[in-house]
Amino acid sequence: MRNHSFKQYAINKSVDQIINQLSFFEPTPIQQEVIPAALRGESLIGQSHTGSGKTHAYLLPLFNQLNEEDNHVQFVVTAPTRELAMQIYEEVKKAIQYADKNEIWKAKLVIGGTDKQKMIDKLSSNPPHIVVGTPGRILDMVKEEALDLHHANAFVLDEADLMVDLGFIEDVDQILVRMDEDVQTLVFSATIPERLQPFLKKYLTNPTHIQIQDDKPSPESMEHRLVALRHKNPADVIINITKGIQPYLAIIFTNGKEQANELASDLLDRGLETGLLHGGLSPRERKRMLKELQSLKYQYIVATDLASRGIDIQGVSHVINARMPKEEEFYIHRVGRTARAGLEGTAINLYTEEDLPLIEKLEKRGLTFTYYEVKNGEWKEAKSYKERQTRTRKESDMEKQAKQMVRKPKKVKPGYKKKMKRKADQNLKKIKRNSYRGKQK
C-alpha cells in the first residue's frame, strides 16, 4: 500500500496521478520543503545535493497550477546546458503522459543546435504552456517575438551557480526583464557564490531560503584517497595512477575548460585514450561525446564541473580530481558521479597545500581521507601533509641546533666555511642518532 504522505499537499487529481505513476512513495527532504512553498506561490532559493529529487520538487507544484484553458506560456524552466535542459524536458514529457494530458498540456524544448526558423514557426503557430530550455535560445525566441513570456506565472532557474560560471546569467536577466515583475521565481543552486548575489537581490524580494544539509555527503561505499601533487605534472601522476586501477569508467575533473583541454592533450601525448567534456564544445561535439561514452568507447574522460551536474553518465567507478575544486559542494557533486545504485566507488584527489582547508572542511562533514603514494602503479599508504610538515619542522630545528654547536674560529682561514658545514653535518647525524635511540628506549 502506497504511503499517502504526498496527500498532505493541496494537489489536484492529475498531479496525484503523476506521483502514482512515478512510484513516489514519500517526498524527499527538498520536496517536503519546496512543494508547499511553491504551491503557495512563494519565490524561493533551494539548495540541495545531486539526486535529491529537486526537479520534481518544482515540476509537481507548477503542473498543479497549470491552467490548460489558457493558451499561453505559463511556466519557464531554464538550465545552463542543452543536456540538462533535455533531461528536464524528458521528465516534463513523462509527467504529461502519466497525467493523460498528451493532447492538452503542451511543452516545448527550446535549445540551440536546432533549426532556428523552424522553431520560430512552431512556437508562433502553437504556443506552449511549458517552455524548457537554455537561456540563450529562449532569449532569441523572445526577441524574434516567437515566444511571449509576459503572462507566465513562474520562472525556474536551475543550477544557478553553474549558470554564473558559464556566463549565462546575463541572458537570464534579459529574459526576466521581459516577464511580469510579480512572476514566481524559483532558483536552485548547489552553492550561492558572491557573483550570484546581485541577481538574487534584483529579482527575489524576501524569498524563502531552503537549504537541505546532507548528513551523508557521499555514499558509505565510497573511498576517498589523497595523493600529493607536489610540483609534478598532473598528467604524469594520473598516468601512474592508471597503472594501479582498472576503472569501468573514470571521470578526471579539472577547474575550467582551458585546464581540461590541456590535461586531455597531455594524457593523449602520454598514450592514454581519453574523452573530453566541457561547456566550450560545440553542440555536435558534445552530443557525439555523450554517445561515445554511452557506448563505452572511453575508459577515461576529462571533464569540468559541467559533468558533475545533471548529466547522468552511467557506470562511473572512479572519480579523479586532477585539481580539487574550491568549494565543498563542488566536491560532493563531483564524487556523486560514482558509487551510485549501491555500487562501490573511489575518489582519487591530487592535492597541494592550498587544498588543505577544503579537506579539513570535508572531514568535519564526515568524509574520511586516506593518504597514498603511487609508485609504478602500486599504492602505498603515506604520511598526511600535517605529519610531513611536522617532520620537516623537526629536521630544520635539528639543523639549527647542529649549526649552533659549531664555533666560528677566531682566525678565519680559507675554506673555513666548508669545515664548519662538515662539522655541522656531523653534529646533525649525532643528534638524529641520539633522537632515534631515545625513541627505541
Q: Which of 93-102, 160-169, 368-377 has the highest mean pLDDT?
A: 93-102
* pLDDT grade for 389, boundaries at 50, 70 and 90: low
Q: What is the pLDDT of residues 1-12, one digit of tens each?
A: 344 478 888 889
State the DSSP string of 351-416: E-GGGHHHHHHHHHTT--EEEEEEETTEEEE---HHHHHHHHHHHHHHHHHHHHTSPPPSS--TTH
* pLDDT grade for 80, boundaries at 50, 70 and 90: confident
Q: What is the pLDDT of residue 1?
A: 36
Cell, residue 419? 669545515
Question: Does 393 score more than 60 pLDDT?
Answer: no
Judge if 5-211 and 222-385 fold alike in CATH terms: yes
Which amino acid, one-letter code, is at 224?
Answer: H
Alpha-carbon distances of 195 from 164, 333, 409, rounded to whole Å:
7, 20, 63
Contacts of 351 (CB under 8 A, 6+ apart): 226, 227, 228, 229, 324, 359, 385
320: β partners: 252, 348
Residue in the block written with cell 516577464: 179
- Edge-to-edge strand list for the sheet holding 44-47: 107-110, 130-133, 75-78, 154-157, 184-188, 44-47, 208-211
Residue 169 · residue 196 · CB < 8 Å: yes
Give the SS3 label for residue 177.
helix
What span, in angstroms and rounded, lies between the C-alpha atoms of 256 and 440? 51
107: β partners: 130
Question: Does 50 score more than 70 pLDDT?
Answer: no
* pLDDT grade for 183, boundaries at 50, 70 and 90: very high
Of 5, 128, 27, 114, nearest to 75 by C-alpha is 128
Mean pLDDT of 54-60: 93
Of 124, 187, 119, nearest to 159 by C-alpha is 187
Mean pLDDT of 66-75: 92
Q: What is the pLDDT of residue 377?
A: 79
Ranges 167-181, 182-196, 217-231, 355-369: which has the least confidence: 217-231
CB atoms within 10 A of CB 270: 14
Helix axes 54-64, 13-21, angle to 10 degrees: 150
Helix axes 13-21, 82-98, angle to 10 degrees: 110
The CATH number that domain 222-385 falls under is 3.40.50.300
Q: What is the pLDDT of residue 217?
A: 52
**In the chain, where are the structural domains located?**
5-211, 222-385
Q: What is the pLDDT of residue 342?
A: 44
Cell, residue 308? 558533475
Ranges 70-74, 186-190, 342-346: which has the least confidence: 342-346
Contacts of 188 (CB under 8 A, 6+ apart): 45, 46, 47, 48, 54, 58, 156, 157, 158, 159, 160
Mean pLDDT of 132-161: 94
For domain 5-211, which CATH number applies: 3.40.50.300, 3.30.2020.30, 3.30.70.1060, 3.40.50.740?
A: 3.40.50.300
Ranges 145-149, 193-197, 332-336, 386-390: which has the least confidence: 386-390
